[in-house]
């Protein structure tokens, strides 16, 4: 796609117009303004180049889930297997693009919401650094969240379209519209460079071990990049348990509002609204069965002073992560796209710890994109039988992955803040090396 002329564009239900974020409380409350990203597309993509925004897509209630269901529009189904979820929160987007319904879409990502549907549906997405693209005037389901950074996310069936999106948005018009956006135009010199890079990789982040197929996807990507002349070295995520605790505490620092609750959110909603003493007790007794799940259960909100301390802890963790990255002189890092392939609809609410593989890069505010690499095989299913079972999270992940033959498996390409062009460059190379054109 050399230009966007006449190309359809779709937007997640969070963007502009009358948007509910899956919340009944937002019904019949139309907004009288467009999100900045919509304005820019109207002024540039649409008016000057002829692209056409033509629909918005479904999301889970509150946007804080990796399934796609809400009490207003119901359940979104995976286009390849209706018994499995397309992911979330931008699951409607992932499903429509994977089905060929549009070449480009815009969603959001605050914990993997843009990358998880791309991994599940076998498409491409990019989570930019926060404030590389304006998020002003988009409807938020959780306002004021600190330390976990959301951003808008383009989805496409090839990397070229993601690049076109970024080139088109990163203009003086966007920068003038939102002074909080860092005014960095798209750097073609970095994207088009042919210099060999030093790339870190890991198949296991040390918190939730990905299933065999997801680990194999990283190995495939590693091998083709090495063949192309890049240097690949192992990279270990520092102190992943601390990073997950920080993420969970920052996500749960607020209170809860009342709303009609979607059935697939009910388990986590009920836990979140237990008295603090009950949550702490439940966390303690569940620790032997699911130490990872216990971290989610036990969070009870925090005071202003506690939030300050959390933000300071995040700052220290970020410094540690960057120092390890710099010590190895890495350009980008290759990581699993997610912990498992698209699961049946009943599993996501029980598997929140598995989101660490994506939420880590919201905590760090690093750009990260997803590239489809392969699909689940019979051999992956056979190796699944020896998958670790020392936490309920792993036992459920094993159940959810059974029968997932031919479901897409992707990888993440991760960069340091403001280095989207370098991330896109490796994504583009991977797409070409893997020879997997979307048809």
Among 6-15, 206-215, 218-227, 303-312, name the one with the lowest average pLDDT.
6-15
Cα(218)–Cα(334) distance, integer angstroms: 7
Mean pLDDT of 288-301: 74
Residues 6+ apart with CB under 8 A from 255: 301
Whether 408 maps to a domain, the answer reads yes
Burial class of 54 by CB neighbour count within 10 A (0 to 12, 13 to 18, 19+): exposed
Mean pLDDT of 327-339: 99
Whether 6 maps to a domain, the answer reads no
Whether 1 maps to a domain, the answer reads no
Question: What pLDDT is stored for residue 45 in this prediction?
Answer: 43
pTM: 0.86
Whether 11 maps to a domain, the answer reads no
Per the structure, the complete domain to which residue 158 belongs is given by 17-435
Whether 7 maps to a domain, the answer reads no
Question: What pLDDT is stored for residue 68 in this prediction?
Answer: 75
DSSP letter for 343, please: P
Whether 111 maps to a domain, the answer reads yes
- State how many domains the chain has: 1
Among 129-143, 204-218, 222-236, 258-272, name the one with the lowest average pLDDT.
258-272
Helices and strands in the chain: count of H runs, count of E runs: 16, 12
Whether 340 maps to a domain, the answer reads yes
CATH code of the domain covering residue 384: 3.90.1300.10
The per-residue pLDDT for range 342-390, each reduced to its tens digit, is: 999 999 989 999 999 999 999 999 999 999 999 999 999 999 999 999 9
Whether 271 maps to a domain, the answer reads yes
3-state per-residue secondary structure call for 7-45: CEEEEECCCCCCCCCCCHHHCCCCCCCCCHHHHHHHHHH
């Amino acid at each position: 796609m050399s230009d966007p002329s006449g190309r359809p564009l779709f937007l997640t239900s969070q963007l502009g117009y009358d948007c509910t974020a899956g919340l009944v409380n937002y019904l019949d409350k139309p907004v009288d303004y467009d999100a900045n990203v919509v304005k820019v597309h109207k002024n540039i993509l649409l008016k000057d180049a002829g692209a056409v925004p033509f629909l918005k897509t479904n999301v889970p209630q509150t946007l804080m889930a990796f399934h796609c269901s809400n009490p207003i529009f119901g359940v979104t189904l995976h286009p390849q297997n209706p018994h499995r979820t397309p992911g979330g929160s931008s699951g409607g987007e992932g499903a429509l693009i994977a089905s060929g319904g549009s070449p480009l879409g815009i969603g959001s990502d605050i914990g993997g919401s843009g990358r998880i549907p791309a991994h599940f549906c076998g498409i491409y997405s990019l989570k930019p650094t926060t404030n590389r693209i304006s998020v002003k005037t988009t409807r938020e389901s959780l306002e004021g969240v600190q330390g976990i950074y959301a951003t808008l996310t383009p989805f496409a069936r090839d990397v070229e379209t993601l690049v076109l999106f970024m080139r088109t948005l990163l203009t003086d018009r966007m920068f003038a519209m939102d002074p909080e956006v860092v005014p960095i135009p798209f750097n073609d010199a970095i994207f088009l460079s042919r210099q060999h890079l030093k790339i870190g990789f890991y198949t296991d982040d040390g918190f939730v071990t990905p299933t065999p197929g997801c680990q194999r996807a990283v190995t495939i990507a590693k091998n083709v990049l090495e063949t192309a002349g890049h240097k690949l070295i192992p990279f270990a995520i520092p102190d992943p348990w601390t990073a997950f605790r920080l993420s969970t505490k920052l996500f749960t620092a607020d209170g809860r509002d009342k709303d009609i609750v979607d059935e697939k959110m009910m388990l986590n909603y009920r836990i979140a609204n237990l008295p603090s003493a009950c949550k702490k007790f439940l966390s303690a007794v569940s620790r032997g069965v699911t130490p990872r799940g216990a971290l989610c259960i036990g969070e009870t909100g925090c005071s202003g002073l506690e939030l300050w301390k959390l933000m300071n802890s995040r700052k220290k963790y970020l410094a540690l992560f960057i120092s390890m990255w710099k010590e190895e002189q890495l350009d980008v890092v290759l990581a699993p796209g997610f912990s498992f392939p698209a699961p049946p609809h009943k599993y996501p609410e029980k598997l929140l710890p598995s989101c660490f593989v994506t939420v880590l890069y919201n905590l760090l505010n690093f750009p990260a994109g997803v590239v489809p690499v392969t699909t689940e095989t019979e051999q992956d299913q056979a190796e699944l039988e020896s998958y670790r079972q020392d936490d309920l999270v792993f036992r459920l992940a094993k159940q959810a992955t059974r029968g997932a033959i031919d479901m897409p498996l992707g990888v993440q390409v991760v960069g340091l803040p403001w280095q989207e062009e370098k991330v896109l460059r490796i994504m583009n190379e991977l797409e070409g090396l893997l020879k997997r054109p979307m048809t």
